[in-house]
Amino acid sequence: MWRFIYVLRAMIGGVGLTWLTSAAWASDNLLVYSDQLNNGWGDWGWVTHYPTNAPVHSGSNAMVFAATGGYQAWWLKHDPINTSLYTNLSLWVNGGAIGGQYFGINAEQNGSELNRVSFVAPTNGWQQFVIPLASLGVANITNLTGFQIWDGGTLQSNFFIDDIVLVANPAPALVHVSLLATQTIRTVDAKVFGINQVAWDGNVFTPTSVGIMNDLGNPCLRWPGGSWGDGYHWTNEYRGWGSYSSDFINLATNTHAQAFIICNYGSSDANEAAFGVRMFNVTNHCNFKYWEIGNEVGGSWEEDNNTNAPWQPHDPWTYAMRFTNYYALMKAVDPTIKIGAVADITEDGTSNYTNHPVVNPRTGVKHNGWTPVMLTYLRSNNVTPDFLIEHKYPPSDGDTCNLLWSQTWSSDVVGLRQMVTDYLGSAGTNVSLECTENGSTGDAQSVSLVGGLLFADSIGQVLQTELNSRLWWDTRNGGGSITNSDPALYGWRTNSSGYFFEDGGVVYNAGATTNRYPKYYVAKLLTHFAGGGDQVVAATTDYPLLGAYAVKRTNGTLSVLIINKSSSSNLTAAVNISGYVPATNAPVYSYGIPQDAAARTGVGSADVLQTNFPAAGVKFTNTFAPYSASVLVFSPAPPPQLGLLPATKGNIVFQLQGQAGATYILQSSTNLTAGWSPVATNTLTGTTLNVTNPLSGSRKFWRALWQP
C-alpha cells in the first residue's frame, strides 16, 4: 500500500476527545443519506440534484430532486450488500407547495436494474415511504448494489428527499453457535498475528516497543515498510529521524519474532537484494526466512524505474524476468530463505499491459492480468516462487459492511490457489500463500472500536483459510484527519476541528499506555485465543452479526472467540459444543464499549477485562454486549465418576456422575487386560444418572468415559 505520504504525518500528535453522536448507533439500520451520503454510498445520479437546508426532515440538509426532463434518476451505488440483515427501504419525501410529483424507486442487484415501484409526493409536508425489500426484488440477497430514484417521465416541479435508510431486522432472541472440537480445519501459524514495522518510525527499538510486541505475542514482523521497500537501500540507509535496520534486528531478535523483509525492486537490483540477505543472515545471523521482491509493484503509486526497453514499469512480464535474477542471487547467499512474489487475487486484476497475453491452460481463456502473466513467465524461466503475496484492505463502506467484509478472505485464497494450480501445475504444490499487509481503511475505523473488531474478525476468517500469515498495517504509522468525516461511523477520536482522526498504527507517538488504539487491545486479547501450533476447529453461527471461531490449544484447552458486530444489540448465544466436555468455570477476556469509553473519559480501565463464566457446559447460553470481542477459555472437565449404589435383587446399580448434556459410555471388562466392552450409552439431563445392570456370575470391572 502507498505509505510515503505518512512521512509528513508521522509526528502529528494529540487526539481530541470529542464524542460524536449518531442515531445510527441506536440500531443496526444502515444510513444511506442523512445530511450527506453515509456508509460508503456513492452518487452516480444523472438528474440535477443538490442539497438544501429548507425544507429538511431532520438534521441540516435534504436533497433537491430537480428533473429537467423525462427519465432522470438519482442513482445511489454501493459495494455488494447482504440484505438478510434488512427488511425495508425507508425515505422521507416532500413535494413542496405544488406536490403530486410522480417518482419511482428500483433496486439494483449486481449492477442489474430490477422492478420499479411508483409513488406520489405529498404537498407541503414530509411523508415517510417504507418499501419492503421483497417488493423491490432484493430481499435476502448477497449483492444489492444500489437504488435508483426516478422522475415520473415528464417535466415536474422540484421535490425533496431526506433520511434514506435500510431498516434492519430485529436481532434474534437467540443466536445458535455450534463448536465441533473434533473437526480440525488447520494448524495455527503464528505469522497470522504479525505486524508491520516502518523505517520512518523513530521508536522501532525502545523498551516500550519491546513491551508492545510482547503484549501482542511478537510472532512476526515486516521491514522496512510498505512502499518504502521500493525506495529503501541497504547500502545507504535512510538518515533522518526514523529507525535503521539495526533497530529492526534488535527488536526482532529481542522478541524472538520471525520476519518478512522487502527487497527494493523499484529502484535497485538483485545485487543489493543479495547484499541484504548477507547483511541480515550471514553477518548478523538473523535467520530471517521470508523475503519479498518489491511491494505492490503493479500499482502506479509504487516507485518503479524499470523504463529501459524491454523493461516496463508496473509490468508483470518485466517483474517475472527480473524476479528470476533476484531469486538466483539471493538463494546463492542463503539457500534456506523463502522468496515471494507480489500477486493480484483475480485473474484479470492489475492488467496494465496487453503485450504479453497468456492463456490459462485449464480454461483456454486469454488473460493480461498480473498474476497469470507473472506465473507463466516465471514457469518459462524454471523459477517457482516460494510464496505469493496478497495485500488486503477493506473499502470505506461503513461500520457494518466492513465488519462483514472479512468473509471475503475465503474467496481471495481460493482464487489465488486456483491460479497457482493452473499456471504452475504440480510445481505450485509447495507455493504458500501469505498476506503481508492487512489493515483498516482511512476513516474513523482505523482508530475506532470498530477497527479493533475488524482486526479480530480478520484473524478469525484468515484461520479458516490456508493463509500462513497476516501482518497488520502497522505498529506506528502517523495520524491525520478526515475532512469528509461520516457522522454515521462509530468513533470519538477527533481533532480540534471535529474531524475524525485516522491512523493505520495500533499505537501512536512512542506508544505510551494512553496512546493505544482499540486495535492494540484487541490484538492483546487475541493472545488468549490462539498461538502457533494450536488446532483450528469448526465453529458456526446462524447470525451474521455474531462471529464465532474456535481453537484447541496445545495445552488442552478449547478457546472460543465471539465478536458481536451489532452496534446496539446484546446478542444471546445458545452454544452447543460437540467433541469436548468443558469444565463449568471458564475465564473470559473481553474488550468493548466500556473499555473504549474508559480510554475516552479516563474513568475505569481501558485494558482487556478478565472475568469468569461459571455456567459453561456442552450446552449453555451467554449474552455478548454490542461492539465487543470476547475470548472464553474452556479447560477440560474432570473425568466422569462411577459410584456403586445399594444393589437391588439380581441387579447392580451404579450412579454416573458427570455434566448435563454430555454423553457417556458405560463399559465393562472381565479383567483389566482383556479389553473393554460397551454396555450402555447415556446422555445426562442432570449431573447424575442411576444405571441398573443385571448381576452376572463372573467378576467384572466397570468404568465410564465421555463420548467425543
C-alpha span between 327 and 274 (Å, rounded): 9
Domain 540-634: which CATH class?
mainly beta
Q: Which CATH architecture has domain 641-706?
A: Sandwich (2.60)
Q: What is the pLDDT of residue 704?
A: 87
pLDDT at position 537, please?
A: 98
For the ranges 77-86, 325-334, 632-641, 667-676, which has the lowest average pLDDT? Answer: 667-676
Cell of 468: 500462513
| Statement: residue 356 has pLDDT above 70 | yes
CATH 1.10.10.410 describes domain 187-529: no
Supply the pLDDT for residue 26: 66
Tell me the C-alpha to C-alpha distance, in Å, between residue 453 and each of 160, 541, 546, 682. Answer: 37, 17, 11, 41
Name 179's bridge partners: 539, 577
Where are the domain boundaries for CATH 2.60.120.260 in the chain?
29-168
The predicted pLDDT at position 675 comes to 84
What's the pLDDT score for residue 479? Answer: 84
pLDDT in tens, 38-55: 999 999 999 999 999 999
Q: How far apart are CA 626 and CA 647, in angstroms?
A: 54
Residue pLDDT, tens place only, 283-330: 999 999 999 999 999 999 999 999 999 999 999 999 999 999 999 999
Q: According to the model, what pLDDT value does residue 25 have?
A: 52
pLDDT tens, position by position, 119-140: 999 999 999 999 999 999 999 9
pLDDT of residue 239: 64
* CA distance linking residue 470 with residue 391, whole number of Å: 9
In the prediction, which pLDDT does 146 show?
Answer: 98
What's the pLDDT tens digit per position in 210-268? 999 999 997 899 999 999 999 999 988 876 678 999 999 999 999 999 999 999 999 99
The residue assigned the cell 439380581 is: 650
Q: Report the mean per-residue pLDDT for the chain.
A: 92
Cell of 686: 442432570
Q: Which three cell numbers stand for residue 625?
A: 454486549
Higher model confidence: residue 15 or residue 29? 29
**CA-to-CA distance for 99 and 93, rounded, in angstroms?**
10
Separation of alpha carbons 475 and 221, rounded Å: 10
Secondary structure (3-state) at 410: helix
User: Of 2.40.30.10, 3.40.309.10, 3.30.450.40, 2.60.120.260, which CATH number belongs to 29-168?
Assistant: 2.60.120.260
Summarised one tens digit per residue, pLDDT across range 634-648 is: 999 998 888 888 878
Could you tell me what percent of the chain has a pLDDT over 90? 79
Strands 126-132 and 535-541: unpaired
Q: What is the DSSP string of 114-126?
A: EEEEEEEPPSSSE
Q: What mean pLDDT is predicted for residues 590-606?
A: 97
Decide which of 111 and 155 is more confident. Answer: 111
Angle (deg, nearest 10), helices 593-601 and 518-526: 140
Q: How many residues does the chain have?
A: 708
Residue 17 confidence class, pLDDT cut points 50, 70, 90: very low
Q: For CATH 3.20.20.80, list the domain ranges present in the chain.
A: 187-529
Cα four-point dihedral sign 84, 86, 87, 88: negative
Q: Which residue has the higher pLDDT, 484 or 542?
A: 542
Range from 2-6, 28-32, 217-221, 654-658 carrying the lowest mean pLDDT = 2-6
- Which residue bears the cell 466397570? 702
Q: Residues 264, 330: contact at Cβ < 8 Å?
A: no
Predicted local confidence at residue 11, as pLDDT? 26
**Torsion over CA: 647, 649, 650, 651 (sign):** negative
Instruction: Report how far residue 87's alpha carbon sits from residue 95's, in angstroms, rounded to the nearest whole number.
Output: 26
The answer, yes or no, to whether residue 23 has pLDDT greater than 50, is no
Write down the pTM of the prediction.
Answer: 0.92
What residues does CATH 2.60.40.1180 cover in the chain? Answer: 540-634
